[in-house]
């Protein structure tokens, strides 16, 4: 049979836990205020996603890119649309 454990904490232990939670909460608020979304919050698609949405092949997508039919950007070697 399972042994039942006493989950009651001492007041000092509870204060340590509450203090840690408070510190994490403050840090989350700081990050939320200073965080700037990548690419100004714009949403980009991968080549695979574009091909699926436009029902075209990767080669056709490359052709569109070469002929500047569809806008794109390159970030860290990855092409985003």
24-67: per-residue pLDDT in tens? 999 998 888 877 766 777 888 999 999 999 999 999 999 999 99
Domain-located, residue 45: yes
pLDDT of residue 52: 95
Burial class (CB in 10 A: 0-12, 13-18, 19+), 50: buried
Question: Which of 63, 59, 65, 69 minimizes the C-alpha distance to 79?
Answer: 65
Please tell me the total number of residues recorded for the chain in this structure. 81
Domain-located, residue 74: yes
Domain-located, residue 54: yes
Domain-located, residue 67: yes
Tokens of 4: 């039942």
pLDDT of residue 3: 60
The pTM is what?
0.52
Q: What is the number of structural domains in the chain?
A: 1
Domain-located, residue 25: no
Write out the residue range of the structural domain in which residue 54 sits.
40-80
pLDDT of residue 2: 59
Domain-located, residue 11: no
Domain-located, residue 57: yes
Domain-located, residue 15: no
pLDDT of residue 4: 54
């Amino acid at each position: 049979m399972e042994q039942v454990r006493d989950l009651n904490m001492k007041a000092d232990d509870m204060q340590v836990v509450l203090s840690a939670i408070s510190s994490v909460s403050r840090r989350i608020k700081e990050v939320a205020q200073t965080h700037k979304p990548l690419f100004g919050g714009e949403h980009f698609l991968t080549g695979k996603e574009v091909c699926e949405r436009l029902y075209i092949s990767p080669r056709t997508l490359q052709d569109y890119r070469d002929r500047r039919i569809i806008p794109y950007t390159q970030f860290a070697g990855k092409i985003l649309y």
